[in-house]
Structure 1
Amino acid sequence: MDNKTNKNVMPVDEILPIGQTIILALQHVLAMCAGAIAVPIIVGNAAGLSQEEIIFLINADLFVAGIATLIQSLGIRNFIGAKIPMVEGTSFATVSAMVAIAGNYNSNPHVAMCTIFGAVLVAGIFSFSMAPFFSKLLRFFPKVVTGTVITIIGISLLPVAVRWSAGNDMSSPDFGSPQNVLMALGVLVMILVMNKYLKGIWGSVSILLGIVFGTIIASMIGMADFSKVVTSKFISFNTPFHFGMPIFDITSIISLLLVTLVIMTEATGNIIAIHEMVGKPLDDKNLARGLRTDGFATILASMFNTFPHTAFAQNIGLVNLTGIKSRYVVATSGCILFLLGIFPKVAALFASIPYPVLGGAGFAMFGMVASGGIKSLGKVNFEGNKNGIIVAVSIGLAMIPVAVPSFYHAFPSWVNTLFHSGITTGSLCAIVLNIFFNGSGKKEKKQRLEA
């Protein structure tokens, strides 16, 4: 397709050559694979599931993530899906609540899973139903708030890259070993060099190439374990309600509903961030479509044996880093994730990528999210107003759970649930302070419409 045909096409709607699309899509899959497998492993172990059942959970997560990503990027009848390049996956915010639920039924793993999935189903229905009302909050997200939130998302993710670079498992004897750290730094250097010197599509997939070359080097020096690839089945189909029909426990449901509000707040920030990065106008209807996708995906997740789904922030950083804004690239990632959910051996291969390799890539990806926020804040007027203090205090408070994860341990459990995420803490603070100093946003909305 020539430039004349493309001149009126927004970057988010651009269709790239099939070869480029597949390579770029694979890069998105590799960027999210660590997060995609972590939640099923943590919850599965907490419930006392066998290794084979945990691998089944990983495949279920990839299967639903593929469907959710396709819906979010392509949309369905202008009702579900924001039509943006956003990869969906299992939310980390729900882990604590689900581990607590599993702990109440550790003598019967399948009952634990059915109770979790019952709470996930209700949370999904709640999220889906609340999407139109939650989207009305868009006027509370002027540029000073969105720029702050995007910056906080990036800063909050960077400790994840640090932990991955050290080996991820803090109880492991080789956590923080020189070998792990040098591997992460080596991957980061490879990515930077390729990003500088490679042209065209190859420069855009520097993250993918860094992860591939890093994994090859790690396997040569004994840092990669591919035993799960050998023991996994070649093909496996995700059967609905594999562990049994959902069990509805009121305490479990309430705990997950509280977390769902947190997820919706974070999702709002992520959806706003990706719209800004790709240059697509955002209104409350498209925000509702994006949030509705999370709710629908979570309902689907409860049926197909996995957990609440939302946007993966690391992939937002990848969009910013590569400059590739096409939603069709991410839709292709959805297809790949869907297929990975059917072929356990391939999924196990992705799961075998060493954490230090992912950590090196994480520094670039997560840092670019923060960079996008700083770029957005560069468009904010800081003269003659209190916008500076809004940004300063919001970022400062967001660092509390990042710097000291146990900071709220002496508070009631609902406080810990609400504020355990720096993204949620900073987002709520930015919204409240903006209302306090600048008003409700009606004036700004009127000015935008008049412009």
Structure 2
Amino acid sequence: MMMTSFIALVESTGAFIAASRYASATMIPPSIISRGIGWQGIGVLLDSFFGTASGTSVLAENIGLLALTRVGSRRVVQISAGFMIFFSVLGKFGALFASIPLPIFAGMYCIFFAYVGAVGLSYLQFCNLNSFRTLFILGFSFFMGLSVPQYFNEFTAVAGHGPVHTGARWFNDMINVPFSSKPFVGGLVAYVLDNTIMTKDGAVRKDRGYHWWDKSRSFKKDARSEEFYSLPFNLNKFFPSV
């Protein structure tokens, strides 16, 4: 359960960043991400009270829908939430949407997740792709992200259990489950290498694209942040952005 919550938070963090890009907003400040995760925690708490099954994680397909429609208005999301509440109360309307054939959903998901994957790769433009350091980290992370989970999955399929097989099941799951995930392994390897590999000329900061993100590290450094990330209904008075 803890691992599931952690994955949901990581997914939501990536979804926040992707949404800011597809909505043509400025790079989302860390404080806004923290605020979003905090509100999501409150939502998860309410979910436990009402017994909902879906939770409140920001699903990746919603980001794909944002990219497909190119509608980044907060008002549209509020109206959509109203429709969802309305359809959930009246079962006949919910049954109408549930009758949509699965191949149509499959085709939509192919488009949505294509946009989600593309927005992640698009952030590489801020790195120095002419640097051998950047190319090594990128290639090695992709290779390990594909090969290590493949090993874990094939080992589990043959042996009936993961490579880590001790008497403590919680420890086995804590190691086997994350390392069976391609995004987790690739992201972990990239994070470690990006923070440990240095160059002789000291151009690491520029190669990593830090000079593009400096103005977005604080909410008040960019005057447009107020326009994009202020809360509606004057909630900023009670939950100010920093």
* Structure-2-length-normalised TM-score: 0.68
- Inter-partner Cα distance in structure 2 for 1:405 and 1:352: 38
* CA gap 1:281/1:377 in 2 versus in 1, 3 angstroms: closer
Are residues 1:314 and 2:74 paired? no
Query: Hey, what does 2:12 align to over in structure 1?
Result: 267
SS at 1:377's partner residue? helix
Which amino acid counterpart does residue 287 of structure 1 have in structure 2? I
* CA gap 1:343/1:404 in 2 versus in 1, 3 angstroms: farther
Residue 173 of structure 2, aligned match among 393, 407, 413: 413
* CA gap 1:403/1:446 in 2 versus in 1, 3 angstroms: closer
| Residues 262 and 418, structure 1, Cα contact 8 Å, conserved in 2 | no
* CA gap 1:402/1:447 in 2 versus in 1, 3 angstroms: closer
1:306, CA displacement in angstroms? Answer: 1.5
* CA gap 1:415/1:280 in 2 versus in 1, 3 angstroms: same
Query: Unaligned regions of 5+ residues in structure 1, if any?
Result: 1-255
- Inter-partner Cα distance in structure 2 for 1:341 and 1:415: 38
Counterpart mapping for 1:29-428 below 5 A: 256-278=1-23, 279-307=25-53, 308-399=55-146, 406-407=153-154, 409=156, 410=162, 411=164, 412-428=172-188
1:408, CA displacement in angstroms? Answer: 6.3
Residue 434 of structure 1, aligned match among 186, 191, 194: 194
* CA gap 1:398/1:333 in 2 versus in 1, 3 angstroms: farther
Query: Hey, what does 2:229 align to over in structure 1?
Result: none
1:274, CA displacement in angstroms? Answer: 1.5
| Residues 149 and 179, structure 2, Cα contact 8 Å, conserved in 1 | no
Which amino acid counterpart does residue 263 of structure 1 have in structure 2? A
- Alpha-carbon displacement from aligned partner over 1:200-259 (angstroms, at most 9, x marks no partner): xxxxxxxxxxxxxxxxxxxxxxxxxxxxxxxxxxxxxxxxxxxxxxxxxxxxxxxx1233
Which amino acid counterpart does residue 448 of structure 1 have in structure 2? D
Alpha-carbon RMSD across the aligned residues, in angstroms, is 3.2
| Residues 398 and 426, structure 1, Cα contact 8 Å, conserved in 2 | yes
| Residues 265 and 424, structure 1, Cα contact 8 Å, conserved in 2 | no
Which amino acid counterpart does residue 304 of structure 1 have in structure 2? F
| Residues 141 and 187, structure 2, Cα contact 8 Å, conserved in 1 | yes
Give the number of the structure with larger relative contact order, counting CA–CA contacts within 8 Å between residues 6 or more apart.
1
1:404, CA displacement in angstroms? Answer: 7.8
| Residues 259 and 418, structure 1, Cα contact 8 Å, conserved in 2 | no
| Residues 20 and 26, structure 2, Cα contact 8 Å, conserved in 1 | yes
* CA gap 1:430/1:268 in 2 versus in 1, 3 angstroms: farther
Query: Hey, what does 2:224 align to over in structure 1?
Result: none
Aligned pair count? 196
1:287, CA displacement in angstroms? Answer: 0.4
* Structure-1-length-normalised TM-score: 0.39
- Inter-partner Cα distance in structure 2 for 1:334 and 1:433: 41
- Alpha-carbon displacement from aligned partner over 1:357-387 (angstroms, at most 9, x marks no partner): 1111222221122222333323321123422
| Residues 314 and 365, structure 1, Cα contact 8 Å, conserved in 2 | yes
* CA gap 1:333/1:419 in 2 versus in 1, 3 angstroms: farther
| Residues 259 and 417, structure 1, Cα contact 8 Å, conserved in 2 | no
- Inter-partner Cα distance in structure 2 for 1:346 and 1:416: 42
Query: Hey, what does 1:83 align to over in structure 2?
Result: none
SS at 2:78's partner residue? helix
Query: Unaligned regions of 5+ residues in structure 2, if any?
Result: 157-161, 165-171, 199-203, 222-242
Amino-acid identity (%)? 25
Query: Hey, what does 1:204 align to over in structure 2?
Result: none
- Alpha-carbon displacement from aligned partner over 1:329-370 (angstroms, at most 9, x marks no partner): 122221122222212222222222221111112222211222
- Inter-partner Cα distance in structure 2 for 1:402 and 1:349: 39
